[in-house]
Amino acid sequence: MGLTKRVLNVIASLIILTLGVLMMLDPQHSYKIVVALLMITLIVKGLRLLVYYFKMARHTVGGIVFLYQGVLLLDAGIFALNLDNVPVIYTMLYLVVCMLISGGIDVMRSNQARTMKTGRWKLQMVYGAGNLVLSILGIIFLFSGTWVAVIYALSLLHSGVCRMITAFRKTAVVYIGG
């Protein structure tokens, strides 16, 4: 990871941590912020994957997966636009399902990295397990709008800390001599 990418990761993680702390301080009034952040995150990620597909991935083997992921995330983000007008339980279900899928995928990827002995699987396992624990908390407190904000704030804090660790982690550089 280059210096510019490290600095951008540190800045992004500081913003994420700040949002998490602000949401933890006033969870009763953070429900609209949760919906807005979900929407913005999903739409931006979907658009980034679509741009990546049309620029690069359509020329690679298996690149069509990026198109499908981009369309699904963009669709989920547009769907999240309407979550502020629906009961809290639907937003909570939406958040819990996203965290459950993300955590499950991260745990499976880290387990695969561990069995293949590729190293650096522990942080991904912690991140995935944290998402799974937060999704279980979301299932327990399914009907509370305040708990939606608290769980989302905890997931932001968790994500910000993991991103900060990744930004300061040394990366291996492979040189191919010729």
Task: List the pLDDT tens digit at each of the 178 positions of the chain.
Answer: 678 888 888 898 898 888 888 888 887 777 777 778 878 888 999 999 999 999 988 888 888 888 998 999 898 888 877 776 777 777 778 778 888 888 888 889 888 888 887 777 888 888 888 888 888 888 887 777 677 778 888 888 888 888 888 888 776 655 566 5
The reported pLDDT for the residue numbered 176 is 66
The radius of gyration of the chain's CA atoms, rounded to the nearest angstrom, is 18
Dist. CA 111–CA 125, nearest whole Å: 7
CA nearest neighbour of 20 among 138, 164, 155: 155
For the record, the structure tokens of 140 come out as: 């327990």
How far from chain centre, in Å, is Cα 102?
Answer: 7
Burial of 11 (0-12, 13-18, 19+ CB in 10 A): exposed
What whole-number distance in Å separates Cα of residue 39 and Cα of residue 87? 16
C-alpha angle with apex 128: 27 to 20, nearest 5 degrees? 25
Measured distance CA(98)–CA(92) in Å, rounded? 10
